[in-house]
Amino acid sequence: MSNVLSSQETAVHGVHDAHHEHHHHETFLTKYIFSQDHKMIAKQFLITGIIWAIIGGLFSVIFRFQLGYPDASFPWMEDLLGKWAPGGKLSPEFYYALVTMHGTVLVFFVLTAGLSGTFANFLIPLQIGARDMASPLLNMLSYWFFFLASVIMVASLFVQTGPASGGWTVYPPLSAIGDASIGSKIGMDLWLVSMAMFIVSSLLGGLNYITTILNMRTKGMSMTRMPLTIWALFFTAVLGVLSFPVLLSGAILLLFDRNLGTSFFLSDLIVAGKVLPNEGGSAILFQHLFWFLGHPEVYIILLPAMGMASEILSVNSRKPIFGYMAMVASLFAICILAFLVWAHHMFVTGLNPFLGSVFVLLTLLIAVPSAIKVFNWLTTLWRGNIRFTPGMLFAIGFVSLFISGGLTGIFLGNSALDIHLHDTYFVIAHFHIVMGVASFFGMYAGVYHWYPKMFGRYLNNTLAYIHFWVTLVGAYLIFWPMHYQGLAGVPRRYYDFSNWESFKQFNGLNEFISVVALVVFAVQLLFVFNFFYSIWKGRKVTDPNPWKSNTLEWTTPIRPGHGNWEGEIPEVHRWAYDYSKDGKDFIPQTEPVGADESKH
């Protein structure tokens, strides 16, 4: 009824320009659901990402129960999982499904879509001075393809044979033959279709991010005046646009192998005593296709966190970022090297040893730009006037985790050492610290820092400090011991270690890790509570620039509408890092350069 009325009104008054704004009322549907406002789309990505993070985290808690208490049974588990936990004991099949889905969900749905999707959408137009993304329509579609991918992935959890369970890397033949395992059936098809949708989403988003940064910058915002967040998000988008299509090719070929009887990745196989007709394919080929995405993916996850940490460290140290151009150059170097190191995931899958040594060299080269970044973060902090806001703490935590996780990368990048370390808990410890937890810390830093801009309210500080300390200490308590397990040879992806005499020494440690994991998960729920509670009940922001920051997003109204700035878009006259300069605490980018001002 109200729709009819409003459309009649439009019909009557629609020709008058003066009434245009009055009739431009947004309905609930256009404002919150099918929104084309980059800020709303960012929030959609963030909230979907949070939901996925809870689901993905819950998976890990459940399989940690199995690893910590292999002999116990939990009645609640049967209530929750039904036939997948008969008698309250997790079934091996579902253990593998959980491990697979934990990886898939966290890597793609949380740390790719949830991280890039949120902060690229939110920060790019605000920080470069644009009213919206280059194409708001494609931007909206990007979210909805992500949503579709999410729906399909969730549906795969509920099919009778369970979700994909061949590991998040979905190597054939386990993923290519429906009869290979129970998780190789329809769940695997849904996984592939969901990922195809996900790739479309990431492509639409990435194209938007790149073109917006190149073309929509406000007057004076030259590339070298952009905040490092924008540089990082730019390289992230380039990585995504060029690496995801290769996974798409692999996924399409894999779908053909599964459903049309082709032999792209299959050759000479016997399953359950039956010789398969497939011949001539190569399972290693899939690994190449997968890791050509898979390795850049690590940086798709890391770079946004790096960019946000750079920005937040500088703002809260009240110091210019140290070595701005070196930071940009090292991001660029990482972006290039990311495409040239994929085979270090395959040192033991049958690679020419000479080729292996080339990949060792290229892999270890990444340590150079990474170290430049770390030293620049530390020198930015050095003698700064540090404010320990929750965002700042998480940014410092990110640097800490990046260092600890990065160092073990040097071990694993060595093809000789990798023979011993591959597929052990050492690998799990390495990548969880350096890309999993570190990126989460970058993401939390971003959420705490930009929450006032997103919702016009602050998150609760006390809860934030509890969240930070428990998560930081907990993350190290969970993953540090895994290094020792890995060095002792404990393999990853095993359901139960109790049959090995040599691994019995770790029974207590496994239980300890599981308990800490549960505590850390509970604290994340505290954050989720804080997040949603503060949207409605948080302390209101009264200062449009609460962190005394130089960047453009803080020149908008406290709760900016669609279009971001009420009047003209501000002009930019300087870079984003004039802190503690010429006796001034901070000089926003919009302030013209004075005649007697010193150079930065």
CB of 550 to another protein, least distance (A): 18
Q: What is the 3-state secondary structure (H, E, C) of 251-264?
A: HHHHHHHHHCCCCC
H or E segment to which residue 487 belongs: helix 461-487
Q: Which residues contact 490 (CB under 8 A, 6 or more apart)?
A: 424, 425, 497, 503, 506
Residues that bind another protein (CB under 8 A): 17, 20-21, 24, 26, 130-132, 134-135, 138, 203, 206-208, 210-212, 214-223, 241-246, 248-250, 252-253, 256, 260-264, 277-282, 285, 289, 292, 456, 557-569, 571
* DSSP label at residue 501: G
In whole angstroms, the minimum distance from the beta carbon of 410 to another protein comes to 29
Which CB, 197 or 478, lies closer to another protein?
Answer: 197
Shortest Å distance, C-beta 291 to another protein:
12
Which residue reads 């946000």 in tokens?
308
274-275/579-581 β-pairing: unpaired
Smaller CB separation from another protein, 280 or 353: 280
Burial label, 133 (beta-carbon count in 10 A; 0-12, 13-18, 19+): buried
The least distance separating another protein from the CB of residue 12, rounded to whole angstroms, comes to: 20
* Closest CB 248 distance from another protein, rounded Å: 6
Q: Which is nearer to another protein, 323 or 456 (CB)?
A: 456
Name the CA dihedral angle for 167, 173, 178, 184, rounded to a multiple of 10 degrees.
Answer: 0
Q: Which is nearer to another protein, 53 or 196 (CB)?
A: 196
- Closest distance to another protein from the beta carbon of 275 (Å): 14
- At its nearest, how many Å lie between another protein and the CB of residue 391? 23
Give the nearest distance from C-beta 190 to another protein in angstroms. 21
| Packing angle of the helix pair 324-338, 367-381 (nearest 10 deg) | 150
- Which among 327, 320, 439 has a CA at the least distance from the CA of 381? 320
Q: How many residues does the chain have?
A: 600
Residue 14 CB neighbours (<10 A)? 12
Phi-psi region of 565 (alpha: psi -120 to 50; beta: other; left: phi over 0): beta
As given in the structure block, the two tokens for residue 329 are: 């150059």
Question: Residue 207 or residue 303: which is nearer to another protein going by CB?
Answer: 207
Which one, of 55, 187, 42, lies nearest residue 127 by Cα?
42
In this structure, is the dihedral angle defined by the CA atoms of residues 135, 564, 143 and 520, taken in order, positive or negative? Answer: positive
Contact 436, 111 (CB under 8 A): yes
Q: Which is nearer to another protein, 94 or 575 (CB)?
A: 575
Residue owning tokens 């599981």 = 514
Output 263 or 370, the one with its CB closest to another protein. Answer: 263
Residue 256 burial by Cβ neighbours in a 10 Å radius (0-12, 13-18, 19+): middle
Nearer to another protein, 222 or 502 (CB): 222
Residue 274, SS3 per DSSP: strand
Residue 582, class by beta-carbon neighbours within 10 Å (0-12 exposed, 13-18 middle, 19+ buried)? exposed
Query: Residue 128 or 478: which CB sits closer to another protein?
Result: 128
Smallest separation (angstroms) from another protein to the CB of 134: 4
In the complex with another protein, which residue's Cβ is closer, 189 or 418? 189
Provide, rounded to whole angstroms, the least separation between the CB of residue 121 and another protein.
Answer: 16
Q: Quote the crossing angle between the two packed helices 507-537 and 438-455, to the nearest 10°.
A: 10
Minimum Å distance from CB 140 to another protein?
Answer: 15
Q: Which is nearer to another protein, 562 or 600 (CB)?
A: 562
Alpha carbon separation from 464 to 71, 393, 424, 469, 537 (Å, rounded): 37, 10, 34, 9, 15
- Least CB distance to another protein at residue 124 (A): 13
Instruction: Label the pairing between strands 270-271 and 579-581.
Output: unpaired
Nearer to another protein, 202 or 549 (CB): 202
Compute the least distance from the CB of residue 281 to another protein, in Å: 7
Of 207 and 482, CB closest to another protein: 207
Rounded Cα distance, 154 and 382, in Å: 46
